[in-house]
Structure formats: structure tokens, C-alpha cells
Amino acid sequence: MMDISLVKLVEELNLKNLTPDVDMNEVRISVPDINRPALQLTGYYEHFASERVQIIGTVEFTYLQHLSEEDRVQSFEEFVSKDIPCVIFTTNMIPEEKLLRLCRKYQVPTFGTDRKTSSFMAEIIRWLNVKLAPTISIHGVLVDVFGEGVLIMGESGIGKSEAALELIKRGHRLVSDDVVEISKVSDITLVGTAPNITRHFIELRGIGIIDVKTLYGVESVKDTQSIDLVIKLEEWDKEKEYDRLGLEEEYIQFLGNKVVCHSLPIRPGRNLAIIVETAAVNHRQKKMGYNAAQELYRRVQQNLSKKRED
């Protein structure tokens, strides 16, 4: 199971630590969701998601303020005693010292933020979904071509890195060479990135390792990119029939998500960079509602209909 340190969450979201004497170095977050404990503060603990980050917004805070001091302390103590990872107070609300003492007593890290509850919830859920997303590593090259994330796959030595280098020289951006880490951030979105150790490097057989960022500038590289299209390079096989119209899309699956995939036969004389550029633009055009293959098919059918009428 993926998890992330609470320390990283605090640093990323710039949270104010209200209990600096509580050690949070060993606290790990493993669930990309949050919980607002409105029902729990009233005493209902059935189905309590205690493993989630707990967020106390205006509703929960004002409810506690309306309780008597004795009931407030009792309600809050029952809540923080449930082995929760942390508590975050939003909208610049600071709990009274008695409640903070309870957090220290049960070793619950407690934080504050001046952000509104709704926008803060959206941000923390987005960040946790990215950091805790299921991840796999595959052999390939990921390039940003006209804003489309193109994953180039194929056997070792077939020309993936060379194609990526030509695309970089044509103004596109490298995300990762050789190894691509793919994360499933939602049911429809896959995001690719490079391992830290190989980021911005390309291996060219016969030359060695080159630093793309140093040679071509910061505009030639990108840290992350959604994967919109997969191109599989393969040796030309004259016995095999290749799709020449593109009426039906082929797909490949990563982590349960489907991505459009084109098989591209390789033989001397083919300009891979231009073909990849064209594939990316054509894919973008399809997403905008225009399919050239379907338009050609429509014209052919229309022409046949006219001939029958004549």
C-alpha cells in the first residue's frame, strides 16, 4: 500500500503546527480521502473513517463552541482518542488550550490553515490522490507533443530515444526516457513522470548519456505529463496487415485505464518525429470532434449513393 509522510503534507500545504511538541515524523497517510467529523463530535462513531485526515471546518467548530465546556471537552476527547493521524482546523480557527492539551495527551498532530474549508478540502484531496496513486514503471519514452502526452514504446534499440531527440529539436518537451513511472490519478487520467535519477537524461547508443535540459534549455523538458496516446514501434513485417484507415481505435491498458494505441511499423526512410507529431495532432483533432477517417468514409458512402441514384 502506498503511503506518504505527514511531514510532506504539512510542508506542501503550508500548515501551521499548533502542537509542535507532538512528534509527527512517524505518522504516515495511506488514504487519499478526508473526513469531517461532524457526526463523530455528536457521539456517533459507527463507520468512522479514523485512518483519514480529519478536517474541522466552520460547522464542526461552531458546534463545539455551542456546547458547555464540560461537554465540549468530553466530545473532543472522545474524538482525538480514536487513533487518528491528524486534525486540521480551517478558516483560521484556533482551538482553545484545553482542546490542544487533549491533542498533546493523545499525541495527535494538530494544524491550522487560513484557507476556506471547501477549497482546502479540494486541494488536499487532489494532492493526496496524486501522491498516493497506484504506480507502475514501464520501458518507454514519454514526450509532450503539442500538449498531448505521447508514450513511445518498443523493443530496446528500435529508435525511441532518437525519435524523442528529434521531437525535442522540433520544439517539443521530454518527460522521461527509458523508464516511465505511470500513476493512476483518476479513473480516466494517467500521469507519467521520470525517476529522479534519470530525469532530463537521454541515452543514445554510440554517443552515451546526454543532458537534455543543459543542451536544449529548460523549455525542452517537463516533469509530469498526462498520457493521452501510445505509439508502439515495431519492425516492418511485410506479411502483416497494418491499419491504413484508422476507423476503429485500438487501446492498451495501464492500471485498468485504456489509452489509444497505434502500432507504427519501422523501416529505413520513415521520419518518426513527423509521424509522431501527426499522430498527436490527429488524436487532438479527434478529441475535438473531427475524425478524418470517418469523414472519408462518409464521402465514399455519399458518392456511392449518388451513383446508385444515377
The answer to whether 161 is annotated as binding is yes
The answer to whether 154 is annotated as binding is yes
The answer to whether 157 is annotated as binding is yes
Residue 244 is a catalytic residue: yes
Kindly give, in sequence order, each residue whose CB lies less than 8 Å from that of residue 205, ignoring residues fewer than 6 positions away: 157, 161
CA 31, 254, 175, 227 torsion-angle sign: negative
Cα separation, 260 vs 273, in Å, equals 18
The answer to whether 12 is annotated as binding is no
Which entry of 28, 98, 105, 139 is annotated as an active-site residue?
A: 139
The answer to whether 8 is annotated as binding is no
The answer to whether 192 is annotated as binding is no
The answer to whether 149 is annotated as binding is no
Which entry of 47, 66, 244, 306 is annotated as an active-site residue?
A: 244
The answer to whether 43 is annotated as binding is no
Residue 205 is a catalytic residue: no
Residue 173 is a catalytic residue: no
Which entry of 52, 160, 172, 232 is annotated as an active-site residue?
A: 160
DSSP three-state, residue 226: strand
State the distance between the two ends of the chain, measured CA to CA, in whole angstroms. 68
The answer to whether 203 is annotated as binding is yes
Q: Say if residues 9 and 88 touch (Cβ distance below 8 Å).
A: no
Which entry of 33, 178, 213, 284 is annotated as an active-site residue?
A: 178
Question: Within 13 A of 256's CA, how many CA atoms are on the CB side?
Answer: 8
Residue 160 is a catalytic residue: yes
Q: Please give the distance of CA 20 from its chain centroid, rounded to a whole number.
A: 32
Concatenate the DSSP letters of all residues of 114-136 into one string.
-S-HHHHHHHHHHHHHHHTS-EE
Residue position matching grid coordinates 487533549: 102
List C-alpha distances in Å: 201 to 141, 161, 177, 190, 272. Answer: 11, 10, 7, 22, 20
Query: By C-alpha distance, which of 246, 233, 236 is closest to 282?
Result: 246
Catalytic sites, residue numbers: 139, 160, 178, 244
Give the residue ranges of the annotated binding site for ATP.
154-161
Give the residue ranges of the annotated binding site for Mg(2+).
161, 203
Give the residue ranges of the annotated binding site.
154-161, 203
